[in-house]
A and B are shown apart, each in its own frame.
Chain A
Amino acid sequence: MSDTHAHSVAFVRTETLPELPPPASQAGIVKWMRENLFSSVPNGILTLAAIYVIYLIVTSAFPWIANGIWNADSLAECRTILDGTTGACFSVLTERWNQLLFGFSYPTEHYWRPSVAFVLLFAAAAPVMFFDLPRKLLIFTGIYPFLAYWLIWGGTIFTPLFALVGLVIGYLVYARFVKDSFAMGFFGGVIAALMTWFIGGYITEAIAPAEPFLEAVQSRNMGGFMLNMILGVVCVSLSLPIGIVLALGRQSDMPIIKWICVVFIEFIRGVPLITLLFVANVVLAYFLPPGTTFDLILRVIIMITMFSAAYIAEVIRGGLAALPKGQYEAADSLGLDYAQAMRLIILPQALKISIPGIVNVAVGLFKDTVLVSVISMFDLLGMIRGPILSSTDWNGVYWELFMAASVLFFVVCYGISQYSQWLERRLATDHR
């Protein structure tokens, strides 16, 4: 049969043809565009509309940025150079950059100090943020707050040094006694730390040099983006332990403690931050002992810390509630008491679950630090709206300044939120 077939057909291909490339409409960029941009008529219209919007934004923003003037001394000079063409006057940023970052009354020759503190912040935060780094680095994280205080505020080094020594002694006492009972370790540690601080206060007064190595800078001289960073970092770190305590209190079986925590959390979460800042500005002084004067910055730190503690407490409560009940029961069945169960079993897991939420609260809080400009503190926004826009040289430079402020905040907040998403993926141990 095959013979006859072979004779009847003139040519039979014995090898397979090479693969042809797919049709032009089904390959490469054309296919991608067909699938992603023009899959249907409405989709195509949407694409064209979106491209038109992008075109409008780019054509209006690009010449403005590209023609920007970076080296003029005032807005008037800027306009002369531009000579009627569209263009930004970025020279306000170059001329007032230090003011935007440090405020207008931080001593110029000491700008390196907050800058060093800012750079060291990354070194201190790294071991907290990335678990793969050696744990020994946490020692530097522990030292950092005192170092940063000394760098930014200056003054005698003995104040932060004794504060640190007090904490170390307190921790040593705690570690010595905690094996017997948590309460004993805790109170022993607190008493030891307080005593060290008390004695350290006297010693500092006695031996502090009249001319300290770093000149002291008053709190009221802090300003600019530095103030936002200080408020954000300090308040978030202080509010974490308070938030944990509040969350545990809210979960407690003891009705009085539970209700104290519930009322505090719901009250703080129910009012806007700005009313709390009003409290810090005008009301808090009435509740302090007569004659005491608190820095405004310290009062603001107290109120913002309370504010973020309430929010962090709610996030951690979510983490606690997400833990399976078996974990609590397992801790009980091992015979651990409440402090041990929380410290060794519950909190490590609950905190791990709540890290993304805590980071969100931190980002929100950092953005909210610009509200202090409303109570006439000169943070980044306060600097822009106050001294810079009202100066004769730069009266009328709105967009460049607001753009700079937005970019500064965007970089920090976007960075943190990307980190949080990375962490979420990293911590996701379930199999999806």
Chain B
Amino acid sequence: MTSITDPPQGSFRLSMLINDTRYRSYTFQFIALVVLIGFMAYLGMNLVSNLAAAGLNISFDFLGDPAGYDINQRPIEYDSQSSHLRASVVGIINTLIIAVLACITATIFGVVAGVLRLSNNWVVSKLMAIYVEIFRNVPVLIWIIIIFSIMTVSMPSPRAFRGDDPSSSMLFDTFAFTNRGVYTPKPIFDSGGWIVVAVFILSIIGIFAYRRYATKKLYATGQLLPTFWPSVAMFFVPAILVYYILGRPITLEYPSLQGFNFQGGIQLRGSLIALWFALAIYTGAFIAENVRAGIQAISKGQTEAAASLGLRPGRIMNLVILPQALRVIIPPLISQYLNITKNSSLAIAVGYMDVTATLGGITLNQTGRAIEAVLLLMLFYLTISLLISAVMNVYNNSVKLRER
């Protein structure tokens, strides 16, 4: 019979801090901490002495001062007498606008290109491969500037739309593509307009509720309810009905040429369009690869098994392939959204007034508060990134394979 006894424990000696694995990690961590604190203190002392030499201090008071510069795209009320803080908020909203627009468009481009690249059609799949390779391998900044040049150099000036026989004309009499931007009609909401919007949103919620009900019914009774046509009907019918019942409360204001420029409608500036499309096309190429990889990651056996169960091709895609492929596609998709948000900071190269251009550009240059402005800028992007990664973690946990 053997018994295991602990080796005799000697009293603690100083050399054990290096030689004994139980204590060694404490030594290492202590050294790391001391080095880190020392390094930080060194940087901090340099900072203090540099600031003292330059007669500066760290203060965020400049955020309350009047900014004194104009911003060409103002989603909220802003004029040059507003504070730097308000200018930053305008910048943040502009960043979010471009990020959301580009994310939606990039997803559409990416999914279409990714699916078409897997198509049996040789010409189409090769065309999509060329699209993906060309756009992935050239820096996004170059794309932004190329599209910005197209928007500002190649488009006609508003003057070309004037006269009896103009050299340029508006598309369908509603869209005007000029070198000052694209003019589109603007919806005007009368008193009942918001009711129509509310009904529309409610009907979208209704579509989801109906689909969930159909799935539940399918699992409970095996009865298959039609989903496609009822969804289409619910999407269009209630909103259009309410729109006409309330006497057409939403009207469109068309842009029209007055004097030297277009008036009315929404003006989408060249910088916005350049940034939007460049980010969408560039990131779309990456998303296309993610989509392709996700679909190809599902082994052929899954398709064959579903086919041998007698499912039709559409249902194989919807019920077997997509739910599994989405688990592979969505995490990289979300990190592409993160990339779009971060790349939207390149707006500064084409003069789109996002937060990098207001807070990190003009405000920084006017006030000379480099440290504070860059710090705030980094904090903003960091917050966005952490929020998006938090969403991603929640999603990953919810779709994780439950291992038994």
Report the separation of the CA atoms of residues A46 and B117 in the bound assembly, to the nearest whole angstrom: 12
What 1/0 flags go to A25-40 for Cβ under 8 Å of B? 0000000000111010
Known: A254-B29, A255-B29. A286 touches B47 (CB 8 A): yes
A254 touches B349 (CB 8 A): no
**Most chain A beta-carbon neighbours within 10 Å: one of B33, B137, B145, B370:** B137
Tell me which residues across on chain A come within 8 A of B121, comparing CB atoms.
36-37, 39, 43, 46-47, 50
Q: How far is the CB of A236 from chain B (nearest CB, A)?
A: 15
A275 touches B124 (CB 8 A): no
Q: Count how many pairs of residues, one from A and one from B, have CB atoms less than 8 Å apart in the complex.
A: 150
Tell me which residues across on chain A come within 8 A of B145, comparing CB atoms.
381, 385, 402
Verify if B138 is at the interface (C-beta below 8 Å from A).
Answer: yes
B120 touches A43 (CB 8 A): yes
- CB-contacts of B365-379 with A (<8 A): 370-371, 374, 377-378
Tell me which residues across on chain B come within 8 A of A275, comparing CB atoms.
345, 356, 360, 374, 377-378, 381
A413 touches B138 (CB 8 A): yes
Tell me which residues across on chain B come within 8 A of A274, comparing CB atoms.
345-346, 348, 356
Verify if B342 is at the interface (C-beta below 8 Å from A).
Answer: yes
Verify if B134 is at the interface (C-beta below 8 Å from A).
Answer: yes
Q: Which of B49-57, B167-175, B189-197, B257-265 touches A?
A: B49-57
A37 touches B122 (CB 8 A): yes
Known: A257-B28, A274-B356. A370 touches B149 (CB 8 A): no
Report the separation of the CA atoms of residues A374 and B381 in the bound assembly, to the nearest whole angstrom: 18
B360 touches A278 (CB 8 A): yes
Tell me which residues across on chain A come within 8 A of B43, comparing CB atoms.
287
Report the separation of the CA atoms of residues A282 and B146 in the bound assembly, to the nearest whole angstrom: 28
Tell me which residues across on chain A come within 8 A of B127, comparing CB atoms.
50, 53-54
Report the separation of the CA atoms of residues A394 and B129 in the bound assembly, to the nearest whole angstrom: 34
Interface of B is mostly: helix
Verify if A122 is at the interface (C-beta below 8 Å from B).
Answer: no
Known: A282-B364, A287-B46, A398-B149. A410 touches B138 (CB 8 A): yes
A374 touches B370 (CB 8 A): no
Q: How far is the CB of B25 from chain A (nearest CB, A)?
A: 5
**Most chain A beta-carbon neighbours within 10 Å: one of B119, B122, B139, B374:** B139
Verify if B16 is at the interface (C-beta below 8 Å from A).
Answer: no
A374 touches B348 (CB 8 A): yes
What 1/0 flags go to A288-312 for Cβ under 8 Å of B? 1110000000000000000000000
Report the separation of the CA atoms of residues A348 and B349 in the bound assembly, to the nearest whole angstrom: 42
Q: Which of B33, B122, B371 contacts A283 (CB 8 A)?
A: B371
Verify if A267 is at the interface (C-beta below 8 Å from B).
Answer: yes
Tell me which residues across on chain A come within 8 A of B381, comparing CB atoms.
270-272, 275
Verify if B32 is at the interface (C-beta below 8 Å from A).
Answer: yes
Verify if B386 is at the interface (C-beta below 8 Å from A).
Answer: yes
B382 touches A271 (CB 8 A): yes
- CB-contacts of A258-274 with B (<8 A): 260, 266-267, 269-274
A371 touches B28 (CB 8 A): no
Tell me which residues across on chain A come within 8 A of B356, comparing CB atoms.
272, 274-275
Verify if B123 is at the interface (C-beta below 8 Å from A).
Answer: yes
Tell me which residues across on chain B come within 8 A of A257, comparing CB atoms.
28-29, 32
Verify if A204 is at the interface (C-beta below 8 Å from B).
Answer: no
Tell me which residues across on chain A come within 8 A of B25, comparing CB atoms.
253-254
Report the separation of the CA atoms of residues A283 and B47 in the bound assembly, to the nearest whole angstrom: 10
Verify if B140 is at the interface (C-beta below 8 Å from A).
Answer: yes
Q: Which of B53, B122, B141, B149 contacts A371 (CB 8 A)?
A: B141
Report the separation of the CA atoms of residues A286 and B374 in the bound assembly, to the nearest whole angstrom: 13
Report the separation of the CA atoms of residues A37 and B51 in the bound assembly, to the nearest whole angstrom: 69
- CB-contacts of B179-227 with A (<8 A): none
Verify if B105 is at the interface (C-beta below 8 Å from A).
Answer: no
Tell me which residues across on chain B come within 8 A of A405, comparing CB atoms.
142
Report the separation of the CA atoms of residues A255 and B30 in the bound assembly, to the nearest whole angstrom: 11
Known: A371-B141, A398-B153. A256 touches B120 (CB 8 A): no
Verify if B133 is at the interface (C-beta below 8 Å from A).
Answer: yes
Report the separation of the CA atoms of residues A52 and B119 in the bound assembly, to the nearest whole angstrom: 18
State which size class the interface on A falls in.
35 or more
A272 touches B33 (CB 8 A): no
Q: How far is the CB of A153 from chain B (nearest CB, A)?
A: 26
Report the separation of the CA atoms of residues A373 and B50 in the bound assembly, to the nearest whole angstrom: 27
A47 touches B124 (CB 8 A): yes
Q: Which of A267, A278, A396 contacts B374 (CB 8 A)?
A: A278
Q: Which residue of B lies closest to A409 (CB)?
A: B138
Tell me which residues across on chain A come within 8 A of B343, comparing CB atoms.
272
What 1/0 flags go to A388-432 for Cβ under 8 Å of B? 000000001011001001100110011001000000000000000
Report the separation of the CA atoms of residues A371 and B33 in the bound assembly, to the nearest whole angstrom: 34
- CB-contacts of B342-356 with A (<8 A): 342-343, 345-346, 348-349, 356
Report the separation of the CA atoms of residues A396 and B149 in the bound assembly, to the nearest whole angstrom: 10
A254 touches B370 (CB 8 A): no
Tell me which residues across on chain B come within 8 A of A371, comparing CB atoms.
141, 346
Verify if A96 is at the interface (C-beta below 8 Å from B).
Answer: no
B345 touches A272 (CB 8 A): yes
Q: Which residue of B lies closest to A406 (CB)?
A: B138
- CB-contacts of A348-388 with B (<8 A): 363, 367-368, 370-371, 373-374, 381, 385
Verify if B82 is at the interface (C-beta below 8 Å from A).
Answer: no
A39 touches B139 (CB 8 A): no
Report the separation of the CA atoms of residues A257 and B360 in the bound assembly, to the nearest whole angstrom: 32
Verify if B36 is at the interface (C-beta below 8 Å from A).
Answer: yes
Known: A282-B364, A282-B370. A290 touches B346 (CB 8 A): no
Q: How far is the CB of A403 from chain B (nearest CB, A)?
A: 9
Tell me which residues across on chain B come within 8 A of A398, comparing CB atoms.
146, 149, 153
Tell me which residues across on chain A come within 8 A of B374, comparing CB atoms.
275, 278-279, 282-283
Q: How far is the CB of A45 from chain B (nearest CB, A)?
A: 10
Q: Which residue of A lies closest to B335 (CB)?
A: A269
Tell me which residues across on chain B come within 8 A of A143, comparing CB atoms.
none
B385 touches A409 (CB 8 A): no
Known: A256-B33, A286-B47. A402 touches B142 (CB 8 A): yes
Verify if A331 is at the interface (C-beta below 8 Å from B).
Answer: no
Tell me which residues across on chain B come within 8 A of A51, comparing CB atoms.
123
- CB-contacts of B14-64 with A (<8 A): 25, 28-29, 32-33, 36, 43, 46-47, 49-51, 53
Verify if A341 is at the interface (C-beta below 8 Å from B).
Answer: no
The 6 closest A-B pairs by CB, nearest first: A270-B385, A413-B137, A272-B342, A367-B139, A282-B370, A36-B122
Contacts A269-B385, A278-B370 aside, 10 further interface pairs with beta carbons under 8 A come to A253-B25, A255-B29, A257-B28, A267-B378, A273-B342, A278-B374, A286-B50, A370-B141, A374-B348, A381-B139
Q: Provide a sorted-by-A list of 6 A–B residue pairs whose CB atoms are within 8 angstroms.
A: A46-B121, A50-B124, A271-B377, A283-B374, A370-B142, A381-B145
